[in-house]
Amino acid sequence: MRAAILVAMTLCALSLIWPQVQGIATILLLLVTSQYVLLTQQNIELFRRQLERQEKVYLDFGLAQRNGQLFLRVANLGISNFLVTGIYVRTQDIRQLNYTVQEIVESGKSSEISVAREVCADHPLSVDLEITLEYVGLDLRGKSEPKCFNVSMPLDNIPHTVKKGLDGLWSVTCPRCHHSMGGFLAMSLRGLNSFDEAVARKKLLLEDFNNSCPNHASQWLLTIEDAEHTQ
């Protein structure tokens, strides 16, 4: 590039003496200018991508318990800090619990945020939870992808074990006669990965109950094989 510029300038100077080289100098200057514009555009695009990466939020989180207290461990995998501003929790009975927080998570680090024990209320053995985080980055606001966790509580509704995925007892009753054949019936969770999938399956199961009442038959009922599969 520098050599081409020097040659073009030399030819321009010589064109004052020998007009024959003026055309060559003009063409060479146009080539140099176009190459300079192309490099400038590439540099601008690279700078823009760097800014976008710096502004984008990369987070991961998990749910855990310590001494009976639930908490979220939020990791910042990006290159800029972000602020966690909200925690949205759905329980398997489709209660929605929202919490406002103000927790800064620095780049390359993680923070712990307490979660109220009320998310486990009215579920004496275990409960499935779906958790979504709201965050604010340098120049954007957004929400994380939801994650599912199961919390087991063998004693006094105190969280004891937390694991990823769905593993609760989703009880069901017939929408027509409002009972479950005199016993406890639950929905199979095999193959489910999200709350939306679970809600859709429960809707199908209740439709089966309504159509088959009083026999209450459905392929989506929890079986012994399903229970053994989740252990």
For 30, what's the count of Cα atoms within 13 Å in the CB-facing half-sphere? 6
Query: Tens digits of per-residue pLDDT, 158-177?
Result: 899 999 999 998 988 888 88
Rounded percentage of the chain residues whose pLDDT exceeds 90: 50
List % helix, strand, coil for the chain (3-state, nearest 5).
35, 30, 35
Average pLDDT of 177-200?
A: 83
Rounded Cα–Cα distance for residues 179 and 187 (Å): 15
Q: In this model, does residue 188 exceed pLDDT 90?
A: yes
> What is the tens place of the pLDDT at every residue in 108-127?
999 999 999 899 988 888 99
Q: Is the pLDDT of residue 48 over 60?
A: no
Q: What is the pLDDT of residue 193?
A: 92
Whole-number pLDDT of residue 44 = 59
Residues 6+ apart with CB under 8 A from 15: 21, 22, 25
What are the domain boundaries of the chain? 2-54, 56-164, 169-231
What string of DSSP letters covers 196-212? Answer: HHHHHHHHHHHHHHHHH
Where does 56-164 sit in CATH, by number?
Answer: 2.60.40.10
| Pairwise pLDDT comparison (195 vs 183), residue with the higher score | 195
**Average pLDDT, integer, range 198-223:** 91
pLDDT at 11: 46
**Lowest mean pLDDT: which of 7-16, 96-105, 109-118?**
7-16
Instruction: Give me the mean pLDDT over the 204-220 stretch.
Output: 91
Q: Give the highest mean pLDDT range of 36-40, 97-101, 180-184, 212-216.
A: 97-101
42 has pLDDT over 60: yes
CA distance 35 to 219: 67
pLDDT of residue 91: 95
pLDDT for residue 22: 53
Between 60 and 157, the more confident residue is 60
Do the beta carbons of residue 131 and residue 149 sit within 8 Å? yes
pLDDT at 151 over 70: yes
